Amino acid sequence: MLAHDEPIYDRINTLASREQARQQLAAQVADFERNGGQVQRLDGFQAATPPPPTSWNSSITRQRKIRRQHELLQQVLAEQIREVAITETKIGPFVHTASEVRRKLKARGIKVNTLQIEQIAAKYLIELRDDGRGRV
């Protein structure tokens, strides 16, 4: 209430079409203040535990399974790359380039490109010889 006992909602400029809603709101606020301004709980109210979250996107679990399968396939491919990346000679080991590794894997029936080979080699710390052609 204001100092001169005028309800605050009586001073709001309202449209004529909203006057009834304004008066109803003013009455509800006055009733709330008459009751001490306290929120009252209704009888029968019980706090309920929230329902368990549901996943609306079931592809999350599918993606997790696919990612695991992809990781396993990469590990197998990394072992294949490791086998063909270095050739032992009389004078020492000879490290192949990604292109040479790709050709050797193609002969085994494995189809990958040189970029995939370089990425897997970097991930699994497999040494490859640089052929001097940089990717930009």
Average pLDDT, the chain: 82
- pLDDT higher at 85 or 134: 85
Rounded alpha-carbon distances, angstroms, from residue 39 to 27, 35, 55, 96, 122: 16, 9, 36, 78, 64
Phi and psi torsions of 92, nearest 5°: 135, 180
Q: How many of the other CB atoms lie within 10 Å of CB of 105?
A: 18
Q: Give the per-residue pLDDT at 125.
A: 94
With 70 as the cut, is the pLDDT of residue 95 above it? Answer: yes
Asked if residue 9 has pLDDT above 60, the reply is: no
Reply yes or no on whether the pLDDT at 80 is more than 60: yes
Closest residue by Cα to residue 122 from 64, 74, 52, 88: 74
Task: Give the chain's radius of gyration (CA, Å).
Answer: 37
**106-127 confidence digits (pLDDT tens):** 999 999 999 999 999 999 999 9
Q: Which residue has the tokens 């079409």?
A: 17
Q: Which residue has the higher pLDDT, 32 or 10?
A: 32
Work out the percent of the chain whose per-residue pLDDT is above 70: 79
pLDDT at residue 1 in the model: 45
- What is the model's pTM? 0.51
| H/E run at residue 63 | helix 59-85
